[in-house]
Amino acid sequence: MCPKEKTENKRKGGKNVYGMEPAELKSLFVSWGKPAYRGDQVFRWLYQKKAASFEEMTDIPGELAGKLNETLGIQSLVCLKKLRSGDGARKFLFGLEDGRRIETVFIPEAGRRTVCVSTQVGCKIGCPFCVSGSGGFIRQLTTHEIVTQVLEAARLTGEEISNIVFMGIGEPLDNTVHVLRAVRILNHPLGMKIGARRITISTCGLIPGIETLRDFDLQVKLSVSLHAVKNDLRDGLVPVNRTYPLEKLMAALEDYDRTKGRLVTLEYALISGINDSDADASRLAGLAGKIKAKVNLIPCNPGMGDAFRAPSGNRTYSFKRILEDRKITVTRRNTKGRDILAACGQLVFDREPEAAESNGKEK
């Protein structure tokens, strides 16, 4: 077998090192009769020094680097395109090994450097106002494809990442296994050390996933994309509501808060003439008050036609006031990155994968 074939086979079958937690790396070394601490060394090299090859890891003996190369893949994502917004946000189009593509956004703000990561190629949920999910579902992202979005965003911007939001393409709680493994890797003290409280997972309301997160030992934040306060409207805006209707969702969130001791944020995309009436605001205040949730208002971003537009500034203000008068903490999500289609619901997913040969070219 020629060396090239060997590499290709290994890449297809082998485990990718970016999908492994330190404990797994340690077990690998122990299984080779080598000291466990080598696992921690490799992990540090990957995330603290951002080494891109085993050979660069100067305190790992050459023989072990060779063995690692034979056993594990170390390839990251390929950046196919970079866009920079006038407001400082940056968007990266990344190519995956199978030629599929995903997008990741870097959002600099006073005191924080946030990466918004994708969790699936496409999405199954089908919210009619969301461009990111409009083409249907293709596949789950694996742990290493999630982890390396953050690593590459750090490399490409030269910044230290302080926060992560799972608010890119896809539904994180429909891919819980890989998302939570990625959270552990990104949070690990020997790696990027991103505090659990600085990691937010956003969901359209999948109750089994909310229960998994409730039982997960790290104190990550939970955001729920509510967008409607009545079942008939929510059935249309967030179709998964037909399976997990509002009353069940709110009960699951109450249980989450009670068990985990973590308050939830309710995301509410304000859509003109659809969910932005005073009555909607009052009902939202009632729901949020009941579970002591914060509310994050997102004026609807364009992309899915005239039916889905943001209300006027006055309407948005009145809506917000009704919540504030009821003592609900309300924030208004800024629309960073809108000019490069990097704001909420604007990430497009791969419709026509580029041929693998074009990977590697930076545009």
Q: Residue numbers of the site for ligand SAH (CB under 6 A)?
A: 127, 129-130, 167, 171, 202-204, 225, 267, 269, 298, 300-301, 303, 344-345
Is 103 designated active site? yes
Q: Least distance (Å) from ligand SAH to the CB of residue 343? A: 7
Q: Name the helix (H) or strand (E) containing 235.
A: helix 231-237
Tokens of 191: 């790696």
Is 267 designated active site? no
Q: Least distance (Å) from ligand SAH to the CB of residue 9? A: 35
In the complex with ligand SAH, the residue whose CB is nearer, 76 or 296, is 296
Q: Least distance (Å) from ligand SAH to the CB of residue 204? A: 4
3-state secondary structure of 35: coil
Alpha-carbon span 114 to 336, nearest angstrom: 12
Alpha-carbon span 284 to 334, nearest angstrom: 20
* Nearest CA among 126, 100, 99, 129 for reference residue 349: 100
Alpha-carbon span 346 to 85, nearest angstrom: 14
Q: Least distance (Å) from ligand SAH to the CB of residue 325? A: 24
- The residue annotated as part of the active site, out of 160, 254, 344, 362, is 344
Q: Least distance (Å) from ligand SAH to the CB of residue 125? A: 6
In the complex with ligand SAH, the residue whose CB is nearer, 78 or 164, is 164
Contact 79, 106 (CB under 8 A): no
- The residue annotated as part of the active site, out of 79, 103, 130, 300, is 103
DSSP states of 75-133: ---EEEEEEE-TTS-EEEEEE-TTS-EEEEEEEEETTEEEEE---EEE-SS--TT-STT
Q: What is the number of the residue whose Cβ is closest to ligand SAH?
A: 345
What's the length of the chain? 363
In the complex with ligand SAH, the residue whose CB is nearer, 303 or 311, is 303
Alpha-carbon span 160 to 183, nearest angstrom: 17
* Nearest CA among 149, 205, 215, 217 for reference residue 172: 205
In the complex with ligand SAH, the residue whose CB is nearer, 173 or 281, is 173
Alpha-carbon span 262 to 362, nearest angstrom: 42
Q: Least distance (Å) from ligand SAH to the CB of residue 306? A: 13
In the complex with ligand SAH, the residue whose CB is nearer, 249 or 344, is 344
Alpha-carbon span 85 to 152, nearest angstrom: 18
In the complex with ligand SAH, the residue whose CB is nearer, 210 or 322, is 210
* Nearest CA among 295, 292, 301 for reference residue 267: 295
Which are the catalytic amino acids?
Answer: 103, 344
